[in-house]
Structure 1
Amino acid sequence: MRHALNLAGRVLIALLFLGGAVQKLADPAPVAAMVRSVGLPGASVPWIAGFDLLAAMALVIGPGVTVWALVMAAYCIGTSWFHWQLRADPWQVTIVVKNWAIAGGLLVLAAQGPGRWALRTRRRQSAAR
């Protein structure tokens, strides 16, 4: 059962990044504005969306789930900075807390590994058995 729960958790977390990729591609203007507000080029939005999409796929199918979980935990903590708008929009602070919670789940995933239901290299498959 724990392998099924691990896969279900990976899929649910991946859906968040998949949805983020779709949202960034469908309506890039708000994200471009946020990115520009910190001095980065607004034209980087498609690359950011591609990164989200790649991460979503990697979290679900592997290999490298542990590494991707660590990278995406750092990504969630880092991107929460964009939402720290306590005076301008207090509801954005909820997004900060959610990003931290997602990072926490990703850290647990990194610690536990992908379970049995993830693609691995042949060498790792024999070591995991």
Structure 2
Amino acid sequence: MFDALKNPLALVGRLLLASLFLPAGIVKLTGFAGTVAYISSAGLPMPALAAAAALIVEIGGGAALIAGAGTRIAALVLALFTLVASFVFHAYWAVPADQQYVTQLLFFKNIAVAGGLLTLAAWGAGAWSIDARIATNSQRR
């Protein structure tokens, strides 16, 4: 049964993961000044460069997941990005007790997302992807 669902599930999984990153990247692009201010408030150096890098990773990585193009690399980059962002922006251990619940929830949600991305990096995009089409065409030559 699961063999028949493997490709549809891989596609849906990629789309669901992309739904976290692509809109976030677009928001960063359309509200760039606010993103820079938020990053600056966290004390990170070169906040404008960090904001630009974040929106490139989120938009580019989200688009790559949707298309299934360069999926393994995109998933690795997004997983690393998500882990770094979790420790910098969702450090629940460093906030007042009344703010810890939501911050901790966001932290562990991001850890789970990174886990899903690492699984995607390990197994690939599935047959319904540009990656699979490229691999098929390469084997025919």
TM over 0.5: yes
84, 108, 124: which one aligns with 2:119: 108
Q: Secondary structure at the match of 1:120?
A: helix
66, 72, 92: which one aligns with 1:66: 72
Which ranges in structure 2 are unaligned for 5 or more consecutive residues? none
Structure 1 residue 57 and structure 2 residue 63: aligned? yes
- More helix per residue: 2
TM-score, normalised with respect to structure 1: 0.84
5, 18, 21: which one aligns with 1:17: 21
Give the total of aligned pairs: 129
Which ranges in structure 1 are unaligned for 5 or more consecutive residues? none
1:87-127 CA distance string (max 9 Å, x none):
23312121110110000111111122111011138762256
Q: Secondary structure at the match of 1:39?
A: coil
Q: Distance in 1 between matches of 2:124 and 2:139?
A: 11
Match of 1:26? Answer: 30
Amino acid at match of 1:38: G
Misfit runs of 4+, over 6 Å: none
Amino acid at match of 1:31: T
Amino acid at match of 1:113: G
**In angstroms, what is the RMSD of aligned CA positions?**
2.4
Compare CA radii of gyration and give the structure with the larger one: 2
Q: Distance in 1 between matches of 2:44 and 2:22?
A: 25
Distance 1:70 1:80, change over 3 A: same
TM-score, normalised with respect to structure 2: 0.78
Amino acid at match of 1:98: K
